Amino acid sequence: MEVQVFGSKKHPDVRKALRFFAERRIKTHFVDLAERGPSPGELKRFGQKFGLRSLIDRGSRRFADLGLSQAMLSEDRWIEKLCDEPMVLVQPLVRCETRLTVGLAEGEWKAWVDSRP
């Protein structure tokens, strides 16, 4: 089992996610959003499952700084904006094979770990 975690090391929920998997000796590939944003395809995958609006952290400082509260953008434009400004995303985004979570989801991660062969 291997998981991919997208987020910023400074974000408390990202640190909790990384600790959760480390404590269970699950191999983790970390993508630091402060250094590199997710690909449009990756964001579309999360958006298809949860809806693109659920990926946007409307309470984040970066969201307010960019003045996005009044933005009326198409889905493609939102994906482009989120790729350019990944600190507007809800964190962490976690992927394990075809399973995905947005935000802190320890209960779901525990189910993933318990169901592994």
Residues 6+ apart with CB under 8 A from 113: 1, 24, 26
| Model pLDDT, residue 37 | 85
| Model pLDDT, residue 74 | 87
| Model pLDDT, residue 32 | 95
Domains in the chain with CATH codes: 2-115 (3.40.30.10)
| Model pLDDT, residue 4 | 96
**SS3 for 43-112, per residue?**
HHHHHHHHCHHHHECCCCHHHHHCCHHHCCCCHHHHHHHHHHCHHHECCCEEEECCEEEECCCHHHHHHH
pLDDT digits (tens, 9 = 90+) for 42-64: 999 999 999 998 999 999 888 98
| Model pLDDT, residue 117 | 74
CB 83 within 8 A of CB 38: yes
Q: Which residues of the chain have pLDDT under 50?
A: none
